[in-house]
Chains A and B, each alone.
Chain A
Amino acid sequence: MQKEFTSDQHQFRQSLARFMQAKSTPVDVRRQMLTEQGYDAEVWQQLCAELGVAGIHIPEQYGGFGFGQIELGIVMEEMGKNLFCGPFLASSVMASSALLHCASEAYKEQLLPDIAMGVSIVTLVLDSLDGPEDVGSLLHEDGGVLNGAAKIVLDAASADLMLVVASSSSGLGLFLVKANDTGVNVTSRESLDPTRKLSEVALINVSAQRVGDVDLGNLQEIWRDCSVALAHEMVGGAQHLLTSTVEYTKLRVQFGRPIGSFQALKHRCADLLMEVEFARAATYHAARLLDAGNAAGLAAVNESEAEVYAPHMAKALAADTYCNVARAAVQLRGGIGFTWEDDTHLWFKRAKSSEVLLGGPDRHREWMMQLIEGEVS
């Protein structure tokens, strides 16, 4: 299993970092967060065309680049550092994961290439974002017609297509719906994190095609892949905030000296560095395990078999870390940190939002324990 980034991966990260620094400055982010779609379609297209991010991890046979969770993680991490506004998580991560795990061959071939190009924005409609066990109680299919609602859907306002997980007489299924079909009602919801656009989606007698079967097992796989991707975003955000906060403590003077010279602040930053390093290590490790598992067929990899809980460990650590760093980032700036004008709150709110998306740390630690117990017994 890979332990280090390859030089290609390093270069890819650098290209992304350059793009983000140029196109996703706090000024850009503030502009986008006030719009309904929440992102600049031109910049998104440019990012997809120049760096191929939208299909980075989608297999080549479906029009992607065929890289894995590691490269996907690199994208998420660099986006997280710069709070990139775009439908990447919704479309490339969540919707494609659902397709890859659940859809029939024909639908994969039909839908994935456009996602991989970034030309089609697809969002995954789940009636719970808390955990796989909770999915399927509010959305139902009967005779090819969907009814029900999902309270929180990412980027539904900009999606062309929706993939809906709904219960049916033959178990859970994955259903395809056009966003502008009659009966599809998208209502924007105010979001704690204005850089992440959320909507409520209500379906009233919407006819839909069944693109595949879903069960708890593949919902767990979707959760696992997406959680690892999200953990990368959080590690990136946490790193950004820690760096900028440490810089601030070196410049700000109180009591005749830089506040960074006070041991209370040094110790806090040192502890946070440890947390960030742990979260990062766990997150990279989880991505590598997933890639190794996917390459070999999960069960065939001894190493990965022993740590099936790694994705949950990563998501929980990254979430706690990001929130802790974000709290410190506000606190160590004092009054300035609590203003709208200062950028810190943008990351603070993202930290909060990502903490609970796909289950909070408490849920992930519970799954981790269940998997560890399962291995033991």
Chain B
Amino acid sequence: MNHNDIKQEVTGWLEQNWSTELSLLEWRNRLLEGGWAAPNWPVESLGRGYSVDETQVVNDVFRRLGIVFASQGGPRRLAAETILAHGNDEQKQRYLKQTLTGEHAWCQLFSEPGSGSDLAGSSTKAEKRDGRWIINGQKVWTTSAHHADYGILLARSDWDLPKHQGLSYFLIDMHQPGVEVRPLRQMNGHASFNEVFMTDAEVSFDDLLGGEGNGWAVAASTLSVERRGFAQARQSGISSVERVGRVYDEYEAELAIDNEPYTWYPQRQGRVDLVLDRAKKTGAIASASTRQEIAKLLSMKRASELAAEQAEATRRAGTNEIIPAGSIGKLAASVIARQAAHVHTLISGSDAMLSGEHSAESGMVAETLISVPAISIAGGTDEIQRNIISERVLGMPKEQRSDTGPFRDIKRNT
């Protein structure tokens, strides 16, 4: 579609429909009715079937006018995209709308104490009993579980099949007696992730996503959405337009909850944005060796953005080339974060010993130094990204497997 036509259409629609006096829910329901909540989704699933470029046109208009978007905070996007890709009509009906309106919050119940990198090694049990699925097991590192209404859950429905084949993917109601969420504190003092204990938790047959035994394929698509997210910096939804009115107030309240577990995420990315100012302010920029390190950092950062843009362009051009951007982007983010921590240390000198409000950048530098280690672990470790890049992108021979045969016979953590 012609970009100008899109711009006109959306602007016209907004003139008719956007009002800051609506409640957040009223507004988001209008968005859905108008088909503007997720324009890139198919027409039959709440969207307009727009391409990436076309969607960008819509987003630009929203951003310029300060319009509140559909809800996408936290793991919502992971859940929504996965349900869109693998759900049946009835499941899409049941979950997508209220996820986009923000009524439903989600968490990702994948990692377990015994299986992190080896997600397919899940040993959470899913059994059919009395006309529903009964779930027993423990999940861990579950970000936002303390705010979640539903979870996307990977569990083992068959122990006699090879490990990837015995998994199923469920949508589980977090508000039930069989689900207990306990916060876990991190080395940087925040507690954004949790342990989740499931004891005879229940899932209806209708909430099996993508078919029994198909859990691994479904989980893989969630993970690819997640990896793409790592490389992109979090975009704040709204421009500098003055935010007065009910819809903004309610949106701010939603953001405050959604973002609570993520307040330190910019720090785990290394806070490259602070580097130049700090180097100038402290005079560290005069040091030849520090200048070198800053230049290396800025080059890495810029080159990774350029590589991502080029990959995106290739993707849009629709060639069949393998595009390594996803895994490389995640690995790049972690290399950049480490170099940024190194540079911040150089700039601080012995002041790097301090933390808290009265230390550099109101404590954000110290928080960076002790948050950066997370980025090379969360969402698949650096080592796992390197395995993926070498085996899937470069086509190098795979490691010999030690985890074939029936799952119950595979060596596990005890």
Is chain B's binding surface mostly helix, strand, loop or mixed?
loop
Residue A345 contacts which of B354, B355, B370 (CB distance < 8 angstroms)? B370
**Pair B121/A334 contact, Cβ less than 8 Å:** no
Residue A255 contacts which of B346, B374, B401 (CB distance < 8 angstroms)? B401
* B386, CB-defined interface residue at 8 Å: yes
CA distance A257 to B378 in the complex (A): 21
Nearest chain A residue, comparing its CB with the CB of B386: A264
CA distance A193 to B359 in the complex (A): 13
**Pair B352/A192 contact, Cβ less than 8 Å:** yes
CA distance A23 to B372 in the complex (A): 32
- In B389-414, which residues have CB < 8 Å from any A CB? 399, 401-403, 410-413
Interface string of A232-263 (1 = CB under 8 A from B): 00000000000000000000111111010010
**Pair A152/B370 contact, Cβ less than 8 Å:** no
- In B307-365, which residues have CB < 8 Å from any A CB? 338, 345-346, 348-359, 363
Which has the most chain B C-beta neighbours within 10 Å: A129, A252, A331?
Answer: A331
**Pair B353/A348 contact, Cβ less than 8 Å:** no
Q: How large is the interface on B (under 10, 10 to 19, 20 to 34, 35 or more residues)?
A: 35 or more
CA distance A339 to B188 in the complex (A): 8
* B118, CB-defined interface residue at 8 Å: yes
**Pair A339/B353 contact, Cβ less than 8 Å:** no
A360 to chain B, nearest CB (A): 6
Q: How large is the interface on A (under 10, 10 to 19, 20 to 34, 35 or more residues)?
A: 35 or more
* B45, CB-defined interface residue at 8 Å: no
On whether A254 and B369 interact (CB within 8 A), knowing A130-B350, A264-B383, A356-B345, the answer reads: no
CA distance A59 to B49 in the complex (A): 83
Q: Which residues of B contact A25 (CB under 8 A)?
A: none
Q: Which residues of A contact B338 (CB under 8 A)?
A: 327
Nearest chain A residue, comparing its CB with the CB of B353: A353
A residues at B contact (CB < 8 Å): 128-130, 151-152, 189-193, 196, 198, 252-257, 259, 262, 264-265, 327, 330-331, 334-335, 337-342, 344-345, 348-349, 352-353, 355-360, 362-363, 366
16 examples of A-B residue contacts, CB within 8 angstroms: A151-B351, A152-B354, A191-B355, A254-B121, A255-B118, A255-B401, A256-B403, A259-B117, A265-B383, A340-B184, A344-B187, A352-B353, A356-B345, A356-B351, A362-B289, A362-B290
Known A-B contacts: A255-B402, A363-B349. Give 17 more (CB < 8 A): A152-B350, A152-B354, A192-B359, A196-B353, A259-B117, A264-B387, A330-B373, A331-B377, A331-B382, A344-B187, A345-B187, A352-B369, A353-B352, A356-B345, A358-B350, A359-B350, A362-B289
